[in-house]
Amino acid sequence: MTDVLISNTPQRATVDDARPVSSTLARAFDDDPMMRWFFPDESTRESGLARYFTTLFTRQYAHHGVCERTEAAAAFWVPPEGQEKAVPDAETVQELQDILGDRAPLFRDTVMAAAEHAPQEPHWYLAVIGADPAAQGQGHGAALLRSGLAKADAAGLPVYLESSKSANLPVYEHFGFAVREELQLPGGGPLLWSMRREPRTADSA
């Protein structure tokens, strides 16, 4: 039996796509060190991650970001004009705290620590990107990366991201990112790498 290929063509993601988007990201981030730190219970991790990504997507990024998906991946980008608006409001923070339970203080401290190291100049921020492991090797994540990077390049702006999974660093480096900083998260958390990619012109690409 051969693997079934599914479409990896990026399309805009709206709040109506919340269920497939959150389910995909929950599977994508199951082995992510930071998410395992936030959701240590294996029996409830996938459902917790699905609720977590649903909240982030429907309350923040779907309204103030550029969200795209394929049939097996999703990415949330935030352009400069959306970054102040994408900060969680009090109701969103409360919802996230309810989802995270006793891990909520660790999440809060992590967000604050990462924010202190974010670049100050205008940039595109890759907040979330993940592909279902079942579709690994079919180009879903790469298609979404190329789509978002093209938008940042068209605006002549750098791109910033954070990753807590060391295995992903070479992937991002392949797309022009370079490690900017290595951060030890507070409370005994995992390492977090901040990465930056300079804008490319058609000639340099």
Give 16-37 pLDDT, tens digit per residue. Answer: 999 999 999 999 999 999 999 9
pLDDT tens, 129-177? 999 999 988 999 999 999 999 999 999 999 999 999 999 999 999 999 9
- pLDDT band, residue 45 (cuts 50/70/90): very high
Is residue 171 in a domain? no
Tell me if the pTM is above 0.85.
yes
- CATH number at 44 reads 3.40.630.30
Is residue 164 in a domain? no
Does residue 202 carry a pLDDT above 80?
Answer: no
- pLDDT band, residue 6 (cuts 50/70/90): confident
Is residue 174 in a domain? no
pLDDT tens, 89-116? 889 889 999 999 999 999 999 988 888 8
Is residue 166 in a domain? no
Beta strands in 4-145 (DSSP E): 11-12, 66-69, 73-78, 124-131
CA distances to 84, 100, 184, 192 from 114, rounded to whole Å, are: 15, 18, 10, 8
Residue 166 has a pLDDT of 96
Indicate the number of domains in the chain.
1
Does residue 2 carry a pLDDT above 50?
Answer: no
Is residue 116 in a domain? yes
What domain range is 83 assigned to? 11-157
Please identify which residue in the block is written with the tokens 């795209």.
Answer: 68
The percent of residues above 90 in pLDDT, for the chain, comes to 79
Query: 3-state secondary structure string, 77-97?
Result: EECHHHCCCCCCCHHHHHHHH
Q: What is the mean pLDDT of the chain?
A: 92
Is residue 81 in a domain? yes
Is residue 18 in a domain? yes
Is residue 35 in a domain? yes
Q: Averaged over 56-60, what is the pLDDT?
A: 95
Does residue 3 carry a pLDDT above 60?
Answer: no
What's the rounded Cα separation, in Å, for the pair 142 and 127? 15
